[in-house]
C-alpha cells in the first residue's frame, strides 16, 4: 500500500536553539520512499549525518521566536508485514557484527535484570519467533496500554512495576525480554495508519531467522501500515528531535497518515 | 552569498534501468544548505546510502520511457573562498586517517608517473599552499581549457599529452601533481555561478595547513560561487549518476545557478 | 613513561561458548602502543570488528573445559595527563558528529534525571573544565569509593542513593552529571599503574575546549599511568568480554602493570 | 587446512620514514585466524585504522637505519575454495551498497574501455559464474604469466597490449573485464601455499550469486591454500606498505607459507 505521511512541528523559542532532528523516513527494510520533503520556516542551514543505527539525522540551530519544521513522505509498504512462526533463534556466533549492539542493555532496557522473567514467559515456546510472540502476548495481557499516560520515557523495570504505559514503554519491555534471551531487539519509531489517537508510534523488531521481524504489543489486529522513521537501542536513540537549551514556550505537533489510491 | 541551484535531467529509456545518483548537495565544508528538494517523475522508490567519500547517494530503478530527475537546493556560501599562502605542508604522519585515500593513485590520476614533473613545477615554491598554487598556475598556462572538448574522462597522462581538456581533465592533472608531492587532493563536482557555458563544473581541493583549500585551474578570476555536489578521488567516484543497462534514447540536462538577494 | 600491561583470563566452561572480547589496547588519544600480543590457549579462530565507539573487538567461540585468554601490550604514555582549567564549554552546534552519542542518556547514566543536581553542584564554576572538576570533587567527597563492593554495574540513580560504589559506579555518576549540563562524557576502562588493589580500572573523559580530558573521582593524587583498553557510553559498552551461554565453573583474572625503564 | 604464514621485511632507511602498512591477515570470508603476531624492531608506536575496504591498517614512523617488520599468523582455511557454476549474475539494484565501489573503474582497471572485449570473450557463457570463468580462461590462454616481469603495477590497458604480466597484472585484467559486464570484482593480495617462486600473490574475487567467489588466472591447478592479507579495488588500494619519503638503501622481503599438521 502507498501512504502519505507528514509531521509538522511548531515551536516558540526564547533563543536560537541547537536541535538534532531525526525526521526523514528512509528506504530500507520493508519500506520504500518514493518522494520526500523536509524544510523549516524560516529556512535555516542544516547539516546531515548518519548515526550508528543508520538513521539520517539533521543538525541545525533555530531562529528565536516562531519556528516550524515540516517533514512529509510517500512510502510504499506491504499490505501485511511478514509473519513467520518457523523463524529460528540465531546462534550468537552467527549474528552479523551490526546486530550485536542490540543484544546489550541500554538506557531504558535493563536486560541484565530480566533473565528469569524472560525464561518463565517463554518456557513452552520453540526458540526464535515463537518466543518473541509469547513475549508480545504476555505484555498485551499483563501491561495496560494507556496512550498519553507518561510524558517521559520510563525503563523496563519501571514499566513492569507500574503495569501500564504508552507504546514506547511496552516496546521497551518487549525489547528487554528479548535481549534477556539473547535475541537482538531494537525500538522502531514511526507512523501507523489509523492509529487512535493519531500520534508518533513506537514498536519493536527482533532479529530471528537471519532477519528483523516486526512486533507491536499495543496493536492486536494491525497487520500493516507501519512507516519507519528511526531505529535504535531504545527511546534514548530515537528522539524525533533533541533540543538543547532554555525552555520552549509553545510546542505543537501535527501528524497525518493518509492512504493513497 | 545565497545561491539557488537546480538540475533537471530528462531521459527516454528503453527498459527500466538501475541508477545510482549523487545529486543532493549537503551542508559541509564552507557550504550550508537551507532547503533542498529531490524527486523523480514518475515517482519511484529510492534508497539512500553514504559512500566512503561522504556523499549521500540514491539508488533507484527508473520506469521505461520518459523519466525525469529534479534536484534543487538553496545554499549559503562565503562571498570569497579562503586563500592562505601561509598554509603549510602536513607531514604524512599527522594526516587524519580519513584523508589518506586522497594520497594514492586512482583511475584518472596516475600519481606514480608524475613525481619528476611535480617537483620541477614547484621547484621554487614554499611547501604547502604555494606548491599547489604553482601547479594551478602551470596548468592554466600550459593546458588549454576547452569546454565540451571531451565526452568521457581522460586520465592525467592523457591530458598532459593532449595539452587541452575540459574542467574535469584539468582538475585531474592538478590532483595528480599534488599527490605526487604527497599533498592529498580530491576532485569536487558541483555548480559554479556565472559559469560560461553553464554546465556541471569540476575543480579540486588540496589538504594543506590542516584543512582543505579550493583550487580551480580553469577560472582565473572567480573568487567564490562554488556549490559542492560531491567529493571523490577522481571523476570515477563522482558521476552525477551511474546508469546500468541498455542505451538511452534521449538525455537532456538543464542546469541553473541563480543568486538570491 | 613506558608501561607493560597484561591481562590473563582463565575459564573453565561446560560448553563451547560464544564470546565478544575487547582486550586489545590501541594507539589513540594520548597513548601509543609499541607492541601488542593477543592469543588464546587453546587457539581458536577469532574475527575482529570495530564497534561504533572505535574499539577493536574480537568474536570467537571457546572450546569446552579450560580456556585461557592472554593480552599484553607496551604503551607509551605521558608522565602526567593534561590539565586545563581554561578549557571551555563547547556549544552543542559546534560539537563533532562523532561526539553527539556521548550527550544522550544510556543504560547506567540516567542523564534525564540529574539536571537540578548537576546545576547545583557546579553553580559557581566557570563553564567547561571547571564544571567537570567540581563534579569530580563533589563525587570524591560525597560518594565513598569501595573497591570490590559491587559485582554488577549499578546506575547513577542507584549510586547516588547508595552513596558508595566501585570505580565504575563513581565514573557513571560523573558522566551522568556532565551530560546533564550538555557536556559530552564517556567511560574509559583500562589499566592504572600502582592501583591498589590491582584490577581493571574505570574512569571518565569529558569533551571540553574541543578535545577529551581525563577525570577520575577515585584517585586524588594520580597524575598519569592510565592505559586505555576501551571507550563507551557506559559500562554496558565496554565489558572486557561478553559471554553468552551457560555458567562458568571457574574464572580467574590476573592483571599486571609494570613500568619499564 | 591450517597454514602458518609469515612475512619479514627489512629496511635500511636514511631518515625516520612514515609508513602505512597492511600486513595483518584478518578473519573473514572463508578464512579464520587462530593466532597472529605483528611487531617491529626496534619497536615504534603504531596506530591502527580500518580502511574503506575493511582492511586493518597500521600507521607508524620508522627509526632511521635498520628497521624490521615482522608479521605472522596461523590461518584455518578450507581444503578447496568454493566453485559454483550455477551462481548467477546479481542485478545491479540487488547488490549490497558495500559492493558498489567494486563496479566502478579504478586506477589500474579502465573498465570504461573494455565493454566490447568483455562481451566478446563471454559471448556464449551463462550470466554469472560462467562469464567470470570464461574471462579467467581467456586470460590464462592469452596473457603470459611472467613472475618478476614488472616492478610497478601496469593497468589493464597496458597488460592487454603487452600480452604478459605478473600475477597482479593478470588480476587487474580479470577485474576490469568483470566490471565491464557489471559484475563487481576486487583484487586480493595474500599468501599462496607452494607458490613458485614464493612471493606475495595477487588474485581476484567476483561477486555472483550473492557472495564473493575466488578466481586466479595464474594458477590452473590450485584448489586452495590462499590466505588473504587485503582487499581493494586494485593494486593502488592494497600495497603491503606505502612509504613516504627519501630512498631506501636496502629492502629485503622474506616470506614463508607452511602447512601445519
Let me know: does C38 contact C71? Beta carbons within 8 Å: yes
pTM recorded for the entire structure: 0.84
pLDDT tens digits along C38-86: 999 999 999 899 998 999 999 999 999 999 999 999 999 999 999 999 9
- Cβ atoms of D74 and D2 closer than 8 Å: yes
Provide the percentage of residues in chain B whose pLDDT is more than 70: 97
Which structural domain range is residue D36 located in? 2-78+240-260
State mean pLDDT over B197-208: 95
Is the ipTM here above 0.90? no
Residue A200 shares a structural domain with residue A244: no
Summarize pLDDT for C193-222 with one digit per residue, the tens.
Answer: 999 889 999 999 999 999 999 999 999 999
pLDDT tens, position by position, A7-47: 999 998 888 999 999 999 999 889 999 989 999 999 999 98
- What CATH number does the domain containing D187 carry? 3.10.620.30
**Cell for D30?**
572463508
pLDDT of residue A242: 86
pLDDT at B250 over 60: no
CB within 8 Å of C45: residues ≥ 6 apart = C60, D27, D32, D33, D34, D76
User: Chain A contacts of C97, Cβ < 8 Å?
Assistant: 49, 59
Q: Does residue C83 belong to any structural domain of this protein?
A: no
Calpha distance D182→B108 (Å, rounded): 20
Whether residues C105 and C225 fall in one domain: yes
Does the distance separating the beta carbons of A36 and B43 come in below 8 Å?
Answer: no
Residue A83 lies in a domain: no
Instruction: Please say if the pLDDT value at position C231 is more than 80.
Output: yes
All residues of chain D having their beta carbon less than 8 Å from the beta carbon of residue B107 are: 104-107, 109-110
Cell (9 digits) for D131: 562469464
Per the model's pLDDT, the better-predicted residue between C113 and D142 turns out to be: D142
Q: What is the CATH classification number for the domain harbouring B36?
A: 2.60.40.2250
Measured between beta carbons, the chain C residues lying within 8 angstroms of D47 are 26-28, 32-33
Is residue A84 domain-resident? no
What chain C residue is nearest to A52 in terms of C-alpha separation? C52
Q: Would the pLDDT of C184 be above 90? A: yes
Contact between C101 and A52 using a beta-carbon 8 Å cutoff: yes
- Average confidence (pLDDT) over B117-124: 95
Contact yes or no for A236 and C104 at CB 8 A = yes
Q: Mind telling me how many Å the CA of D107 is from chain C's nearest CA?
A: 28
Q: Are A205 and A215 in contact (CB under 8 A)?
A: yes
- Non-local CB neighbours of C99 within 8 Å, separated by 6+ positions: C184, C207
Contact A46 B27 (CB under 8 A): yes
Contact C18 A92 (CB under 8 A): yes
Residues C24 and C128 in one domain: no
List residues of D whose CB lies inside 8 A of any B CB.
18, 20, 49, 51-52, 59, 61, 91-93, 97, 100-101, 103-107, 109-110, 112, 152-153, 182, 236-237, 242, 244-245
Q: What is the per-residue pLDDT for A243?
A: 85
Interchain CB distance below 8 Å, B101 and D52: yes
What's the pLDDT tens digit per position in C86-96? Answer: 999 999 988 99
Establish if A73 belongs to a structural domain: yes
* Per-residue pLDDT, D207: 98
Query: Residue A65 above 80 pLDDT?
Result: yes
Among all residues of chain B, which has the CA nearest to that of A43? Answer: B34
Confidence band, pLDDT 50/70/90 cuts, at residue C248:
low
What is the overall mean pLDDT for chain D?
92
Residue C133 maps to a domain = yes
Q: To probe the interface with A, which of B1, B21, B24, B27 has the most A CB atoms within 10 Å?
A: B27
- Tell me which residue in D35, D39, D50 faces C43 most closely, judged by beta carbons: D35
For position B248, what pLDDT does the model report?
63
Chains A and B touch, using 3 or more CB pairs below 8 Å: yes
The answer to whether the bond into A197 is cis (omega within 30° of 0) is yes
Could you tell me if C229 and C117 lie in one domain? yes
> Which of D97, D105, D236 is the closest to B104 by Cβ?
D236
Closest-CA residue of A relative to C56 is: A97
Please indicate, yes or no, whether residues C39 and C155 belong to a single structural domain of this protein: no
Distance from CA of D66 to the nearest CA of C (A): 17
pLDDT of residue D244: 80
Q: How far is C31 from chain D (nearest CA, A)?
A: 9
Domain identity same for C61 and C124:
no
Contact B34 A50 (CB under 8 A): no
Answer whether residue B128 is part of any domain: yes
pLDDT bin (cut points 50, 70, 90) of residue A247 is low
pLDDT tens readout for residues A143-197: 999 988 877 788 999 999 999 999 999 999 999 999 999 999 999 999 999 998 8
Residues B61 and B135 in one domain: no
Same domain for C44 and C158, yes or no, is no
Residue B213 lies in a domain: yes
> What is the DSSP track for C66-105?
EEEEEEEEEEE--SS----TTPBPPPGGGS-GGGGGGGS-
**Residue C139 in this model has a pLDDT that exceeds 80:** yes
Over chain B, what is the mean pLDDT?
92
Rounded-to-10 torsion of CA D157, D162, D163, D167: -80
Question: Which residue in the set C43, C47, C76 is minimally distant from D27, CB to CB?
Answer: C47
Q: Measuring CA to CA, how many Å separate C98 from each of A50, C94, C111, D140?
A: 10, 12, 19, 48
pLDDT above 90 for D254: no
Q: Do B43 and A28 touch (CB under 8 A)?
A: no
Nearest CB neighbour to B106, from listed D59, D112, D236: D236
Q: Are C244 and C252 a contacting pair, CB within 8 Å?
A: no
Based on the fold, state whether residues D142 and D70 are members of the same structural domain: no
Chains C and A touch (3+ CB pairs under 8 A): yes
Strands A65-76 and A2-13: antiparallel
Q: C249 lies in a domain?
A: yes
Query: Is residue A72 located within the same domain as residue A118?
Result: no
Pairing status of strand D226-232 against strand D241-243: unpaired
Domain total of chain D: 2
Q: Which of A46-50, A198-202, D114-118, D251-255 has the lowest mean pLDDT?
A: D251-255
Number of H helices, E strands in chain D: 4, 14
> 3-class DSSP state for residue D88?
strand
Give the mean model confidence (pLDDT) for residues D146-160.
Answer: 87
Chain B and chain C touch, per 3+ beta carbon pairs within 8 A: no
So what's the pLDDT on residue D40? 93
Amino acid at each position: 500500500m502507498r501512504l502519505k505521511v507528514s509531521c509538522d512541528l511548531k515551536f516558540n523559542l526564547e533563543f536560537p536553539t541547537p536541535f538534532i532532528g531525526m525526521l526523514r523516513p528512509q528506504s530500507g527494510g520493508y519500506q520504500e520512499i518514493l518522494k520526500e520533503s523536509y524544510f523549516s520556516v524560516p529556512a535555516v542551514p542544516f547539516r546531515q549525518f548518519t548515526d550508528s543505527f543508520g538513521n539520517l539525522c539533521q543538525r541545525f540551530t533555530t531562529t528565536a521566536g516562531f519556528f516550524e519544521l515540516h517533514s512529509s513522505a510517500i512510502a510504499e509498504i506491504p499490505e501485511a508485514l511478514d509473519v513467520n512462526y518457523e523463524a529460528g533463534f540465531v546462534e550468537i556466533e552467527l549474528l552479523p557484527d551490526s546486530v550485536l549492539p542490540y543484544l546489550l542493555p541500554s538506557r531504558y532496557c535493563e536486560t541484565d535484570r530480566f533473565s528469569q522473567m524472560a525464561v518463565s514467559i517463554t518456557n513452552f515456546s520453540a526458540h526464535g519467533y515463537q518466543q518473541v510472540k509469547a513475549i508480545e502476548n504476555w505484555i498485551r495481557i499483563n501491561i495496560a496500554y494507556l496512550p498519553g499516560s507518561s510524558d517521559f520515557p520510563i525503563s523496563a523495570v519501571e514499566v513492569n512495576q507500574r503495569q501500564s504505559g504508552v507504546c514506547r514503554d511496552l516496546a521497551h519491555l518487549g525489547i528487554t525480554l528479548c535481549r534477556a534471551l539473547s535475541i537482538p531487539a531494537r525500538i522502531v519509531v514511526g507512523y501507523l495508519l489509523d492509529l487512535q489517537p493519531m500520534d508518533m508510534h513506537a514498536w519493536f523488531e527482533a532479529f530471528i531467522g537471519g532477519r528483523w521481524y516486526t512486533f507491536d504489543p499495543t496493536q492486536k489486529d494491525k497487520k500493516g501500515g507501519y512507516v519507519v522513521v528511526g531505529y535504535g537501542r531504545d527511546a534514548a536513540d530515537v528522539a524525533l528531535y533533541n533540543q538543547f537549551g532554555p525552555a520552549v514556550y509553545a510546542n505543537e505537533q501535527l501528524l497525518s497518515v493518509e492512504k493513497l489510491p
